[in-house]
Amino acid sequence: MELLQEAGISVPKGYVWQKAGSKDVEMKAQVLVDGRGKGTFESGLKGGVKTVFSPEEAKDVSSQMIGKKLFTKQMGEKGRICNQALERKYPRGEDYSAIVMERSFQGPVLIGSSHGDVNIADVAAETPDAIKEPVDIVEGIKKEQALRLEQKMGFPPNTVDSAAENTVKLYSLFLKYDATMIRNKSNGGRFRWSCAVMDAKINFDSNSEDESDKDAAKADLNYIDLSGNIDCLANGAGLAMATMDIIKLQGLGTPANFLDVGGGATVHQVTKALKHITSDKKVLAILVNIFGGIMQCGVFAQGTVTAVKDVEIKIPVAPRVDSGLKILACDHLEEAARMVRRLSETVTLAKQAHVDVKFQLPI
């Protein structure tokens, strides 16, 4: 609902409903799957979408919803709680519309039907080319396309502009948040002078590129952000994975990233890599594993010096190298791993005590 409002799309007013008792509202179980209208509550109530017309009826229905599990065909034995209600609207008609990615069109396509209360799959089977409007992925949607779609769906002249504006804004939302689908079972709930999006569902692309990954890719770094607390940096994918394994094996915590600077890394790339991973607020320490036969350790050293000069590194760095730099050097990977564990524990204790720790590295 907030995403739709942010995009300037007309929607019913809504509020979080945490207790029973209201009047003249549409109550919907907020679940992330289809089929709630045909679901069943553990209380025995049939359907996760109910319209009530009196305070007494609202209290009765909501008492059977709130705090009760809703079972649907898609969810199986899992249950979700109804926790949101929308203001009552009186649409003069309900429609179905969607924006999806379509391989045959090599881009997004608008889909519409004037039968909002039926299965869109049935409509598509009976009239497969009834209402489809491909959108050029480069040029984007045009107002004329949206108007053409709404006119085919039978919107009257006094509401067609409002419906088209909602469609254009939905497409902008589709692109902005890397959505794979936006569908509205009652898109364009028709009122006398306007339309409103009353029942939207949005699927997002879980494979969309992370901004942190994009930033690393610009420096030709093989980087994947993870959810752990120990950063690792290595040259070579196999060595990087082995470094991640040793972090878990030594009980250090969990890897915060996969970072392979490659065998031909430059000073600039090493500097960029260190700047990148030290900007992660959840990281307690960094374990560096450089194999000199693939990459010159001097390049890593120069990159480290440059990074330290440009950015104040407040977390300990434990590299597996041997040099005269002001770093905690180790001859063996397991020794470096144990050192990172001890240092990360120190940082954790300092954070818990709200103490700022500054590490004085030996020469």
**How many CB atoms lie under 10 A from the CB of residue 304?**
25
Half-sphere exposure of 66 (CA within 13 A, CB side): 17
Token code pair at residue 66:
């709130």
Question: Smallest Cα–Cα separation from 344: which of 357, 333, 360, 334?
Answer: 357
Start and end residues for every CATH 3.30.1490.20 domain found in the chain: 12-89
Q: Which two tokens stand for residue 49?
A: 């979408």
Answer whether 57's CB lies under 8 Å from 63's CB.
no
Q: How far apart are CA 153 and CA 352, in angstroms?
A: 60
| Calpha distance 33→74 (Å, rounded) | 7
Fold of 12-89: Dna Ligase; domain 1 (3.30.1490)
pLDDT band at residue 357, thresholds of 50, 70 and 90?
confident
The answer, yes or no, to whether residue 320 has pLDDT greater than 50, is yes
Q: How far apart are CA 112 and CA 123, in angstroms?
A: 10
Residue bearing the bigger pLDDT, 219 or 23: 219
Q: pLDDT tens, 219-230?
A: 888 998 888 889
Angle between helices 297-310 and 267-278 (to 10 degrees): 50
Query: What are the pLDDT digits (tens) for 157-187?
Result: 888 888 889 889 999 999 998 888 888 765 4
Residues of the chain with CATH 3.40.50.261: 222-346
For residue 348, the 8-state DSSP code is H
The answer on pLDDT for 193 being more than 50 is: no
CATH number of 222-346: 3.40.50.261
Write the pLDDT tens digit of every residue in 129-144. 557 888 998 899 988 9
Task: Indicate where the chain has its CATH 3.30.470.20 domain(s).
Answer: 95-204
Long-range contacts of the stretch 341-344 (C-beta < 8 A, 24+) = 341/250, 341/251, 341/252, 341/253, 343/284, 343/285, 343/316, 343/318, 344/229, 344/230, 344/252, 344/253, 344/284, 344/285, 344/316
The per-residue pLDDT of the chain, averaged, comes to 77
- CATH topology for 95-204? D-amino Acid Aminotransferase; Chain A, domain 1 (3.30.470)
pLDDT of residue 186: 53
The structure tokens listed for 38 are: 């045909």
Per-residue confidence band for 26, with pLDDT thresholds at 50, 70 and 90: low
C-alpha to C-alpha distance for 189 and 207, rounded to whole angstroms: 32
Q: How far is Cα 148 from Cα 320, in angstroms, rounded to an integer?
A: 64
Residue 112's closest CA among 59, 155, 80?
A: 155
